[in-house]
Amino acid sequence: METTCIHLLLSLVLSLLLLSHRAFTAGDTFSKGRNITDNDTLVSADGTFTLGFFSPGVSTKRYVGIWFTVSRDAVCWVANREHPIDGNSGALVISDTGSLVVRDGSGQVAWSSNSTSTSPVEAQLLSSGNLVVRNRGSTTATIMWQSFDFPSNAMLSGMKIGKDFWNGAEWYLTSWRSADDPSPGPYRRALDTTGLPDNVVWQGNAKKYRAGPWNGRWFSGIPEVLTYTNVMEHEMVISPREITYSYIIAKPGGPLTYIVLLDTGVVRRLVWDSDARAWQTYFQGPRDVCDSYRNCGAFGLCNAGAASTSFCSCLNGFSPASPAAWNSRDTSGGCRRNVKLDCGDGATTDGFLLVHAVKLPDAHNVSVDRSISLEECRARCLANCSCLAYAAADIRGGDVPSGCAMWTDDIIDLPYVDHGQDLYLRLAESEIPPLVATGVSYCAGAHSSAPSFPSVEHHRSPAQSVTSSSVPASVLVPSLELLSLKEATGYFSESNIIGRGGFGVVYEGRLPDGRKVAVKRIIQSPQKVDVMSKLKHNNLVQLLHYCKDGNERILVYEYMKNKSLELYISGEDPKLHALLNWERRLEIIRGVAKVIHRDLKPSNILLDDNWRPKIADFGTAKFFVVDQTDPTLQLGFYYFSFLEKVQITPLKGYTAPEYMMERYLTLKCDVYSFGVIMLEIVSGQKNRNTPTLLSDDH
């Protein structure tokens, strides 16, 4: 009996010890005397983050780090980056002086926080992923040390990067040396706080990639932020004390997310997909050739949507500094001005050319005044002979951007981007395109009346135009005389007709400069073209010019050499069918999937020289932009107001059943049309001719 009692007592003591150990390892706090050994962990109160020992990749070295509990590979902070531990005998302890210390098996210090305190302290892993040291038992005491002040290669919600001008502190990310080695690598991501704030990736002392200057809402080269505003909120602090950038999760319980600087120098915004149990990339930079810093040199313009041999071009008014180098595809030497600026003695005849939808150029040395209007900025730039370009410093006003950023150095690192900003480039009067002379006279200081016909804002389009500041919300494409268009189309000859539709007839034409174009005479009200001034996308046919003469309303588009997808699906020429190899079919499907259209059909999908799909009749035929199942729901990212709404003629085989039979429009209508087109592209057959593919009853 006595032996049984002793056994029970020993079992109880062992159970209590085990429970105590488990409670400790599962907690978020520890203090002196309670070490975190190789088999122990700290877990934040909400379970999001875990601290413990780990070995990265195939390495057997041991490090103390913090990672997302749902994904052990997502390590976001490492203590002993430069001094790994051999074996599993290491420990994280609190020293007699109040420092966090990582010791190896022999007791040697591998890392220390170097914080000191005369009072007992404790370390806590917060739910933000921040490891803090403060006075023991206090939740309000001043933090003596925190991991957020010593970032590794990852940026978490609530962490900040930038500079504190009062104490000289600077926070930035440093890449790992490799996937198996978290020691500091060659890349760092820091906030450039001179001029307009800009997140820059450096390799040593060389810039490799810029996110684009902060415009009051986002970094101008990362339009992807507009797609996840419901996930996070961004904050830029600009004050005499500090310039810092941070972000926070928009809503409690929102998806996990973080920014990581890879060992390759690539920056990624990752978001956790709880259903797939995997990280999804919401943004990556650099994303393409145009994100490589200074790829096109000074006064060069990069267009990632152009042919691979011509990503770079010189801005209007400039020519290659070395034509021979450019012919050899070496564009790093940039461009030089064709005509010297005319400015001095308080007078100038110079004007401004609008370069639309770009990531603003390197703004390291720009002068910034956030208190003035864009019109005042134009006047200030014009009065300063050293000013080469200007732009709005703050776009939070929407259609009325404000603030002033002025460039006096060379324009460097200028690519087209979706939702890009406007840059006003200073040129000699003779270099302003003559097709937009009214805009030039205004920018040079005289009054003008701008045309009321709007233009399309294109993603990475090589077209540039001048705009009157009297219409800051619009950008005007160059106009053409009616006579020029008549001559270009053989006076609208029947033999030059290449397409007909409910909104007009399309003619093939050739402009005086030799460019082949598609000329569309609009039959319906020109009011419907207003949609196009709100759109920009690399998969939309580019608007080049317009003409408004009496009752004539004409749009001039880029010519699509490979015509419409319909020819390759339902055409009678088998040679055309053979041109659609599987690689081209996949790229066409991917391109079409990027555009919300409402009237998708093969005849509206045109193919350029590189077989890139571009949607035609977008904006002149689609006016049901509100989901009729929810009048407050916007379609995609666009919402437009119209004085009238028009019906489209349902096309069997492509129009969704609910609209075909009941004229009931939903956001799913495009999904139906896209699915049909995808089946046609894959099968190479038109659905109406193939009853086994889709029946008449849909």
Annotated binding site for ATP: 520
Cα 56 to the center of its chain, rounded Å: 30
Q: Which of 198, 362, 422, 599 is catalytic?
A: 599
Q: Which DSSP letter does residue 526 get? A: G
End-to-end CA distance of the chain: 83
Q: Which residue has the tokens 């200074």?
A: 294
**Cα(122)–Cα(82) distance, integer angstroms:** 25
Q: Quick one: CA torsion of 422, 427, 433, 438, rounded to 10 degrees?
A: 80
Task: Judge contact between 200 and 211, C-beta under 8 A.
Answer: yes
Task: Judge contact between 430 and 369, C-beta under 8 A.
Answer: no
**Cα(146)–Cα(153) distance, integer angstroms:** 16
The strand pairing partners of 626, in sequence order, are 634
The strand pairing partners of 606, in sequence order, are 564, 614
Task: Judge contact between 104 and 85, C-beta under 8 A.
Answer: yes
Q: For the chain, how big is the Rg over CA atoms in Å? A: 31
Give φ, ψ of 453 to 5 degrees. Answer: -85, 120
Tokens linked to 521:
């005479």
Burial of 623 (0-12, 13-18, 19+ CB in 10 A): middle
Tokens linked to 605:
């999908």
Task: Judge contact between 132 and 124, C-beta under 8 A.
Answer: yes
**Cα(483)–Cα(480) distance, integer angstroms:** 8
Q: What is the DSSP string of 469-500?
A: TT-TT--PPPB--HHHHHHHTTTT-GGGEEEE
How many beta carbons lie within 10 A of that of residue 37, not counting itself?
15
Q: Which residue has the tokens 């810093």?
A: 293
Active site residue 350: no
Residue 281 identity: T
Tokens linked to 72:
């052990």
**Cα(399)–Cα(174) distance, integer angstroms:** 38
Task: Judge contact between 301 and 315, C-beta under 8 A.
Answer: yes
The strand pairing partners of 553, in sequence order, are 548
Closest to 450 (Cα-Cα) out of 463, 462, 465, 464:
465
**What Å distances lie between residue 694 and 91, 652, 671, CA to CA?**
66, 10, 15
Task: Judge contact between 600 and 526, C-beta under 8 A.
Answer: no
**Alpha helix ranges (H) inside 538-573:** 566-570
Q: Which DSSP letter does residue 360 get? A: P
Give φ, ψ of 239 to 5 degrees. Answer: -145, 170
Q: Which residues are catalytic?
A: 599
